[in-house]
Amino acid sequence: MEKRSILVLIALIALLVFGSLALAMQEKSDTKIDKEKCLSCHGPYEKIIKATAEWTAPSGEVHSPHRYVPHDSQDIPQCTECHTQHAIPLKDKSTVVKPQDVPFCYEGCHHMKNLQPCKNCH
């Protein structure tokens, strides 16, 4: 009976160790890339603003969605608020998903899906 208890205990410890490793690997793959990492390849931020200056919002307004948030500061939001991160290094550009609109802006402040200042409606 004692030998059987030891085997059961060893099996439980092995399950615990392998389960913990599986969870650790899962958490690592879900980690979001920080904006500094994105900007090290896609930046500087001013270049992104210029490259998207002719973006058309669903409202028809033409404006770069890459504006500082809040607009009177230099606080750039995380890129993953609007963009799906890709593997590094990028091997297949077809896997990169680009947003059709700017949910970060529209769910927070511009709920009328236009780029007008809040004071125009409130």
DSSP string, 57-84: -TTS-B--S---SSTTS--PPPGGGTS-
Contact 68, 74 (CB under 8 A): yes
Of 21-25, 103-107, 111-115, minimum mean pLDDT range = 21-25
DSSP designation for 26 = H
Mean pLDDT within 9-26: 68
Residue 74 has pLDDT above 80, yes or no: no
Give the pLDDT band of residue 31 (cuts 50, 70, 90). Answer: low
Residue 26 has pLDDT above 60, yes or no: no
Residue 40 has pLDDT above 90, yes or no: yes
Mean pLDDT within 66-93: 80
- Distances in Å between the Cα of 7 and the Cα atoms of 16, 17, 21, 98 are 14, 15, 21, 53
**The predicted structure's pLDDT at residue 44:** 92
Contact 103, 82 (CB under 8 A): yes
Contacts of 54 (CB under 8 A, 6+ apart): 62
Residue 25 has pLDDT above 60, yes or no: no
Residue 62 has φ and ψ, to the nearest 5°, of -105, 120
Alpha-carbon span 21 to 1, nearest angstrom: 31
Residue 2 has pLDDT above 90, yes or no: no
**The predicted structure's pLDDT at residue 23:** 57
Burial class (CB in 10 A: 0-12, 13-18, 19+), 33: middle
